[in-house]
Amino acid sequence: MTTFNIYMVRHGQTYLNKYHRIQGWSDTPLTDNGVADAKRAGERLKDVIFTHAVSSDARRARQTAGYILEANNGKIKEPEIDIAFREENFGYFEGNDDYATWHMVGSPHGTNNFHEMIDTFSIEKTKDMLHEADPYHDAEDNATFWGRLQPGFDHLINKCQDGDKVFVSTTVP
């Protein structure tokens, strides 16, 4: 069995994060705080010599990867792009106020926010509930989300060797 380490870093703060807006496949650039977060992560990871680097195709993940790899003492300076590591698609709710969205989706089930939904139902069931609440059903349900994400992990499993250190810049929380 091959064993390797994955250093998975979620992107720094974006403008939609700052404004408490739902952001999945929607993409906004990093704020100054997000850039500072990415640079701090780069500083913390600078001595980890990565054998592979992968990023979601989202601009915010690519920006974060750029700052981290720029600070890194290894040879990899550009990540491989893989959409598998993209955040879930929130469908109709993309760009909406996050508090209002989670209240609207959760309140019929006795919860009022994202964290209550996760604690009460699980993250998997919460994805399914959001999909059902989406009037167009474009929001990814749990099976669709994992159907996209798992091949990304499978790709890493197939390409890595014992002891590899893999950096993944992602939008997945």
Tokens 């650039």 label which residue?
29
Q: What is the identity of the amino acid at 167?
A: F
Which one from 20, 43, 52, 87 is the annotated catalytic residue? 87
Distances (CA, A) of 128 to 24, 106, 110, 123, 135: 15, 12, 16, 9, 13
Q: Is 87 a catalytic residue?
A: yes
Give the C-alpha separation, 71 to 55, whole Å: 16
> How does strand 52-55 pair with strand 165-170?
parallel
Which one from 11, 52, 94, 140 is the annotated catalytic residue? 11
Residues that are catalytic: 11, 87
